[in-house]
């Protein structure tokens, strides 16, 4: 609200204060809106934590100046917060950059398709002059905006995204793409204003430099191919686009040559039809016959026709044969990609026929392969993910199998990070109807977790069902963990049969030991359940279990005694070592003191010794007790 007028204040001053107050609030709201728009312009990626900072925290009191502006140096707004931000950057791997280059496909394809059409078909240019002018202006505006986007696109340096505008602009101006972008946007259609230059088809032909932006088109196609979920389909569509574009250009040039020679003068040229659409379709059909090397075209009569047809055949042999071969390669890759994911049943069938194996066994093999393809189950999915880093591979595997792991009762209380590491150790396996997962007496090397399906615990006859295991249960841990009193040792204790198609997770013995070493609670739960099952099957020797527990307790007691004795010995050794060091230090000090007492008095080298005839000075002798 505007401030209340104090008594005795002039109305004009009140008007000035009210206006200043409204401007202050306008600046604050503009600054807040620009800071929120910073999420879209600065980085353009929801995953960038720096770009989310202004949206989460807003503008604090320390970031506002007393006048209501924004004093944050990282802010995109100007000091007055009334102008459009300039220091914005785009992440080349972000969503906004991908959307922009996808948008740039439209003006580039427009120029490649429409310009040649307007040059070769003058009636099309004359009939829609206003429409072409509007579309030309729009494409030029997008070209200019693309140059600005290039200047504000970040780049990676030492693995870090550089967002400095001066560096990104300097890097773009020094690249090889900048001259091409500038030449592609030059207003060359102004040349048509010169005297003697026809406006039709002069104006479309003068805009031929707009086709120089084709590298941006290739960049957009490459980015889309890496982002799409159907890369082979997109690759085939791209090749078909190149094929149709080549036929379109050849057809337009064929019509231009026909118009130059005269429409309908011989069977080879385009017939003189009143409708432009009819003329274009005939030209497109003729070019399709030539470039696909189908033939069945009229015999050329003139030299120009012979040269044009020869050039068309050469283009078909060199260029279109390459495109057609690429399309066939994509089709082959589609089948090879599915074969890489799913095992091929052909070699198995040939192997069975070579060794005369048939009947029910061959039918089971065929049905197993059909089940994998119908249910989209990959038995070798870990080989597909081997090229990914360990962390990224864990995230991908967790996103696929985490919900299935949480349905296992043993893993429900485990943390998310633990399950992400565990999922790297699990291997999916698929078992068909009537197939034994494990048999009693086999050496156990892995345990299983039921992801989907039903399994039966059967008797020795293989028919009588003792129990049915469903989704979320696990089995096979008895032969892997050391349960006291287990008479079976590391052998399987039951026959497990798959009732239908069952999806299981397999965990090896070494991996299970690592997991249980990190989580003793899970080990205790597994041992308790295994002991219960062994008691139910009568394969647990309670006497041996008690003896083993007593021996373990005795060993633990002895180990504790040895630890105490070892600690005492270490203490005594440390004390003796300290005494030895102290004694050595005292001995060294005494030796040093004695060496100082016995050190001889230095003689004056400047004095010469007396001659032999002079009486010598009596030798000074040290008295006992003198220093």
Domain boundaries, the chain: 1-88, 89-227, 401-544
Give the pair of three-digit tokens for residue 511: 């991996």
Sites in the chain below the pLDDT cut of 70: 1-86, 196-202, 334-344, 374-376, 378-382, 409-410, 417, 599-627
The residues that bridge with 448 in the sheet, in sequence order, are 475, 506
582-618 b/e (C-beta count within 10 Å ≥ 16 → b): eeeeeeeeeeeeeeeeeeeeeeeeeeeeeeeeeeeee
pLDDT digits (tens, 9 = 90+) for 33-76: 444 434 333 344 433 433 333 333 333 333 344 444 444 444 43
CA distance 90 to 154: 6
Per-residue pLDDT tens digits for 538-561:
777 777 778 877 888 888 889 999
Task: Using the Cα atoms of residue 525, residue 526, residue 529 and residue 534 in order, give the sign of their dihedral.
Answer: negative
Strand-pair partners of 495: 458
User: For residue 617, is it left (φ>0), alpha (ψ between -120 and 50) or beta?
Assistant: beta
Task: Tell me if the domain spanning 401-544 has CATH number 2.60.120.10.
Answer: yes
| Helix 11-41 and helix 49-57, axial crossing angle in degrees, nearest 10 | 150
- pTM of the model as a whole: 0.55
CA distances from 143 to 79, 191, 204, 218 (A): 31, 20, 17, 15
Contact 286, 294 (CB under 8 A): no
Longest Cα pair distance anywhere in the chain, in angstroms?
151
What are the residue ranges of helices labelled H in 152-230? Answer: 165-173, 177-184, 202-206, 214-227
At 380 the pLDDT is: 65
Measured distance CA(175)–CA(359) in Å, rounded: 68
Q: What is the DSSP string of 136-167?
A: HHHHHHHHHHHHHHHHTB-EEETTEEE--HHH
pLDDT, residue 63, reads: 39
Q: Which residues contact 259 (CB under 8 A, 6 or more apart)?
A: 120, 270
Say what the pLDDT of residue 494 is. Answer: 85
Residue-wise DSSP of 435-503: -EEE-TTSBP-EEEEEEES-EEEE-TTS--EEEEE-TT-EE--TTTS--TTBTTTTB--SEEEESS-EE
**In 3D, which of 18, 105, 275 has the Cα closest to residue 283?**
275
* 3-state SS class at 4: coil
* Cα–Cα distance for residue pair 536/530, rounded to 1 Å: 10
Compute the half-sphere exposure of residue 599: CA atoms within 13 Å on the CB side of its CA: 9
């Amino acid at each position: 609200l505007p401030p209340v007028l104090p008594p005795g204040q002039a109305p004009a001053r009140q008007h000035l204060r009210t206006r200043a107050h409204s401007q202050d609030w306008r600046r604050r709201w503009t600054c807040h809106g620009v800071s929120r728009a910073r999420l879209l312009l600065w980085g353009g990626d929801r995953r960038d934590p720096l770009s989310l900072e202004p949206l989460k925290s807003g503008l604090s009191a320390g970031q506002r100046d007393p006048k209501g502006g924004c004093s944050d140096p990282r802010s995109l707004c100007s000091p007055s917060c009334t102008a459009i931000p300039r220091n914005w950057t785009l992440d080349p791997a972000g969503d906004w950059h991908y959307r922009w280059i996808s948008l740039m496909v439209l003006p580039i394809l427009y120029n490649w398709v429409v310009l040649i059409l307007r040059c070769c078909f003058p009636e099309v240019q004359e009939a829609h002059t206003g429409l072409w002018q509007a579309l030309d202006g729009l494409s030029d505006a997008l070209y200019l905006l693309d140059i600005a986007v290039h200047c504000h696109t970040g780049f990676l340096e030492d693995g870090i995204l550089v967002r400095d505008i001066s560096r990104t602009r300097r890097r773009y101006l020094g690249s090889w793409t900048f001259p091409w972008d500038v030449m592609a946007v030059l207003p060359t259609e102004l040349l048509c204003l010169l005297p003697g230059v026809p406006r039709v088809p002069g104006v479309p032909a003068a805009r031929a430099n707009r086709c120089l932006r084709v590298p941006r088109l290739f960049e957009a196609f490459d980015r889309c191919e890496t982002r799409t979920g159907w890369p082979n389909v997109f690759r085939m569509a791209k090749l078909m686009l190149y094929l149709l574009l080549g036929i379109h250009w050849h057809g337009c040039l064929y019509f231009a040559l026909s118009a130059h020679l005269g429409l309908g003068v011989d069977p080879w040229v385009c017939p003189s039809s009143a409708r432009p659409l009819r003329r274009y379709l005939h030209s497109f059909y003729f070019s399709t016959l030539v470039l696909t090397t189908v033939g069945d075209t009229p015999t050329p009569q003139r030299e120009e026709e012979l040269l044009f047809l020869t050039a068309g055949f050469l283009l078909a042999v060199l260029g279109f044969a390459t495109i057609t071969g690429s399309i066939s390669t994509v089709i082959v890759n589609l089948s090879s990609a599915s074969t890489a994911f799913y095992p091929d049943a052909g070699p198995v069938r040939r192997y069975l026929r070579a060794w005369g194996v048939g009947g029910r066994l061959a039918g089971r093999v065929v049905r197993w392969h059909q089940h994998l393809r119908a249910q989209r189950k990959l038995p070798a999915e870990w080989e597909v993910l081997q090229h990914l880093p360990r962390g990224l591979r864990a995230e991908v595997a967790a996103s696929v199998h985490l919900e299935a792991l949480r349905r296992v009762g043993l893993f429900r209380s485990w943390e998310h990070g633990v399950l992400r590491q565990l999922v790297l150790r699990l291997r999916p396996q698929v078992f068909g109807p009537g197939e034994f997962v494990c048999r009693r007496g086999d050496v156990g090397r892995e345990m299983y977790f039921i992801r989907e399906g039903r399994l039966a615990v059967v008797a020795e006859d293989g028919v009588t069902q003792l129990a049915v295991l469903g989704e979320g249960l696990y089995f096979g841990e008895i032969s892997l963990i050391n349960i006291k009193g287990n008479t079976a040792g590391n052998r399987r204790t039951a026959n497990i049969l798959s009732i239908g198609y069952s999806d299981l997770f397999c965990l090896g013995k070494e991996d299970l030991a690592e997991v249980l070493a990190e989580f003793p609670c899970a080990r205790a739960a597994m041992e308790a359940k295994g002991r219960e099952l062994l008691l139910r099957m009568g394969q647990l020797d309670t006497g041996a279990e008690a003896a083993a527990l007593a021996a373990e307790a005795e060993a633990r007691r002895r180990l504790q005694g040895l630890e105490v004795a070892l600690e005492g010995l270490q203490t005594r050794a440390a004390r003796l070592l300290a005494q030895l060091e102290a004694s050595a230090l005292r001995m060294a000090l005494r030796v040093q003191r004695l060496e100082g007492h016995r050190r001889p008095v230095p003689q004056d080298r400047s004095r010469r010794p007396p001659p032999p005839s002079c009486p010598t000075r009596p030798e000074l002798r040290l008295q006992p007790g003198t220093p």
